[in-house]
Amino acid sequence: MATTSEIKNGLCLEHNGEPYQVIEFLHVKPGKGNAFVRTKLRNLDTGRVLEHTFPAGNKINTINVEYRNYQFLYKDAEGFHFMNMDDFNQIILQEGFIDGSQFMIDGMEVIILFHADEERPLSCQIPPTVALEVTYTEPGVKGNTATNATKEATLETGAVVRVPLFIEQNEKIVIDTATGAYKERAKA
């Protein structure tokens, strides 16, 4: 048991009998009335996001979770295959458990969140940025625009992102996996 003063990003809690993770929170102390905590919660079973307001001082049921290091092996019809980096056991997760799955490459290290009491995976976190090679993009034409223009580029994973006109085919770029946006050219 915890109180609403202990709410922070990443906290896993039980709400309406289901596991949730706090995505965003805001402690509000209005001039008149009682304080409260406004939150955005992600359901760890379904992936749905909901907003909920907790009155200040309320008790919340936290969930015991463990973060374990895994390596992404491959994807097939069954799902995404991962190997535990400590004991080499393998598990299979469906795409709904993984945010940014379109940016995963073989051998990538990820962190899988487990419900410690039930020994079941809840979600998979990929690195915040990843360097990927551009496999196809149209050539950029100089002098074609007066502002920041972008074009589509297909990456080695098959994902399509918007990149600046100066990015060429076979170049490595850094992608923000949370937003799917181009960040910069990869350093050699």
pLDDT tens digits, 53-102: 999 888 999 999 899 999 999 999 999 999 998 999 999 998 878 888 89
Shared domain for 56 and 72, answered yes or no, is: no
pLDDT tens-digit map of 19-42: 999 999 999 998 888 999 999 998
Residue closest to 9 by CA, chosen among 99, 20, 19? 20
For residue 141, pLDDT beyond 70? no
What CATH number is attached to the domain comprising 72? 2.40.50.140
For residue 117, pLDDT beyond 90? no
For residue 133, pLDDT beyond 80? yes
Q: How deeply is 43 buried, as exposed, middle or buried, from its count of CB atoms within 10 A (0-12, 13-18, 19+)?
A: middle
For residue 146, pLDDT beyond 60? no
Domain, as residue range, for 72: 65-125
Which run of H or of E encompasses 61? strand 59-62
Question: Rounded to whole angstroms, how far apart are CA atoms 116 and 80?
Answer: 21
